[in-house]
Structure 1
Amino acid sequence: MSETPTPVWDGPTRVFHWALVLLLVVAWVTAGEQMAIHRGAGYAILGLLAFRIWWGLAGGSTARFRNFVRGPGAIRRYLSATRNGTEGEHAGHNPLGGLSVLGLLGLVGLQVVLGLFAIDEDGFEGGPLSDRIDFDLAQQFAEWHELSFRLLQGLVVLHLAAILYYAVRRRQDLVRPMITGARRFYGPVQGLVRAPIWRLVVGVLIALAVGFAASRGFRLG
């Protein structure tokens, strides 16, 4: 194993990861009782997702979608190599991990979008876009909003189970690198190539703009 840790995750990716975890917990514990906080968490999550999409296109090398999103063939080959113990090491997400990332981002995005249109059965608490659709449909959105969260919980459990599997069976700590940004490898691995700071500034502005627009119901003026 290398003596010097190799950089694998840049700061923006790590901040996004832990901020999303925190905001999902906040949204969970405030649902139904503290709706102002719940909605605020949802707007912040939507801004984070907008940032992650931008960062997946213009961010550091390990955060870019093109570097970890793979097709079914690549995933099958990775699973086969895993069974044979010949899968090698990855500085970022492996093909199966990339699939998990897309699933989590997609479900979180669906959860937030459904919440924008959802309204409670009494019509007192609703998302900023609930008044743009029929009341019964808005209530249906609320049911889908809850269902999608159950699905998200299931995917999070699978995600945590995979982390535990790699820690116990493969002796690979996947949590520490998401905190420190670096990891030790057994062989030479191409580490993180950082993005210029202006791209981070653009991403932050996009996140703020999307979160603010959502809080205003995407209304002008």
Structure 2
Amino acid sequence: MRDFSAEASQQMTQVIRLWDLPLRIFHWALVICVASAWGLGRFGPDIMTLHFLFGYAVIGLLVFRLLWGFVGPRPARFRSCLYGPRAVFAYLRDIPARRPSYWPGHNPLGGLFVIALLVVLAAQAAIGLVADPQDYVNTGPLARMVSAKISRMALNWHDILGKVIMLMVVLHVATILFYRLWKREDLIRPMIVGWKRVCGRK
């Protein structure tokens, strides 16, 4: 049976260049760096030079994203990620519908997730700079600037936030699969090529 509502909805959309190249490079570079830093931190080697290097790369990427969130194209700006409670709850009510959202950018829930993930990653990176396992090898470069108690506390929180980040990544992947399999909307390809089918919603 043909889904005429879906066909009508698609006819009222257009394909536009949504995600700019710097944002797409940032996205996939962040995926690589976060996954590498997490894997190295969780499974070794014992000397975590590479873990630190990927952590520094994450910091650099976050600095770029912070700047791009204010001066980049409209879909990349932070104000495009933030919606009021009414828009968030309206989108929540529409999620079960088995049709694409064709949202022109980050949808209200996706926008909140982006902000939350960037905040958690920034906190994780900052904590890692002062963490000290007291093994005289894998000491954060700024650990000497804080007390031993704080550096040990930072190490504990670094482990906790690492697990939080993994849960957020799993949620992100699950959401992408949900949109692809249930709502019939591909969210990966637009982040590769930049083009996305969107509706006229502002």
TM range (shorter): 0.7 to 0.9
Give how far 1:74 is off.
2.2
CA contact (8 A) 1:6 1:183 kept: yes
| 3-state SS, counterpart of residue 70 of structure 1 | coil
1: CA distance, partners of 2:70 / 2:58: 19
Matches within 5 A, 1:13-52: 13-31=23-41, 32-33=44-45, 34-52=47-65
Which residue number in structure 2 is paired with residue 155 of structure 1? 168
Matches within 5 A, 1:59-78: 59-78=72-91
Query: Which one has more relative contact order, counting CA pairs under 8 Å at least 6 apart?
Result: 1
CA contact (8 A) 1:78 1:87 kept: no
Structure 1's 184 and 77: CA in aligned 2 closer, same or farther, altered over 3 A? closer
CA contact (8 A) 1:81 1:87 kept: no
Tell me the alpha carbon deviations over residues 154-193 of structure 1, each in whole angstroms, 9 at most, x when there is no partner: 01111111111100110000000000000234x4467xxx
Gaps of at least 5 residues in structure 2 are 1-9
Tell me the alpha carbon deviations over residues 55-106 of structure 1, each in whole angstroms, 9 at most, x when there is no partner: 1111011101111212333211221243567995312100000011111111
1:129 aligns to 2:129 (yes or no): no
Matches within 5 A, 1:73-112: 73-83=86-96, 89-112=102-125
1: CA distance, partners of 2:176 / 2:151: 37
2: CA distance, partners of 1:139 / 1:23: 24
1:182 aligns to 2:192 (yes or no): no
**What is the alpha-carbon root mean square deviation over aligned residues?**
2.2
Q: For residue 150 of structure 1, what is the amino acid of its counterpart?
A: K
Tell me the alpha carbon deviations over residues 98-136 of structure 1, each in whole angstroms, 9 at most, x when there is no partner: 011111111111110110000113243211110111123
Structure 1's consecutive aligned runs of 4 or more residues displaced over 6 angstroms after TM superposition are 84-87
Structure 1's 86 and 4: CA in aligned 2 closer, same or farther, altered over 3 A? closer
CA contact (8 A) 2:133 2:155 kept: yes
- TM-score, length basis structure 2: 0.85
1: CA distance, partners of 2:32 / 2:97: 37
* Percent of aligned positions that are identical: 39
Size of the aligned set, in residue pairs, is 189
Gaps of at least 5 residues in structure 1 are 191-221
CA contact (8 A) 2:130 2:151 kept: yes
